[in-house]
Amino acid sequence: MANDIAGKEVKKAVKSILVSQPEPANQNSPYHKLGEKYGIKIDFRPFIEVKGVTAKEFRSQKINILEHTAVIFTSRNAIDHFFRLCKELKVEVPSDMKYFCISEQTANYLQKYIVVRKRKLFTGYKTARDMFDLFKKHKSEKYLFPCSDIRKEDIPNFMDEAGIEMNEAIIYRTVAADLSDLSDIFYDMIAFFSPSGIKSLFTNFPDFEQKETRIAAFGPTTASAVRDAGLHLDVEAPLPNAPSMTGAIELYIKEANDL
Q: How confident is the model over 193-216, as pLDDT tens digits?
A: 999 999 999 999 999 999 999 999
Sequence ranges of the chain with CATH classification 3.40.50.10090: 16-22+32-47+177-257, 50-175
The matching CATH number, chosen from 3.30.413.10, 1.10.150.20, 1.10.760.10, 3.40.50.10090, for 50-175 is 3.40.50.10090
Task: Count CA atoms closer than 13 A to 89's CA, side-chain side.
Answer: 23
Residue 51: its pLDDT value, please?
A: 93
**CATH code of domain 16-22+32-47+177-257:** 3.40.50.10090
Residue 10: its pLDDT value, please?
A: 52
The pTM assigned to this predicted structure is: 0.72
Residue 1: its pLDDT value, please?
A: 37
Spans of the chain below 70 pLDDT: 1-10, 117-119, 259
Which of 67, 123, 116, 72 shows the shortest CA–CA distance to 95?
116
Residue 5: its pLDDT value, please?
A: 36
Residue 88: its pLDDT value, please?
A: 97
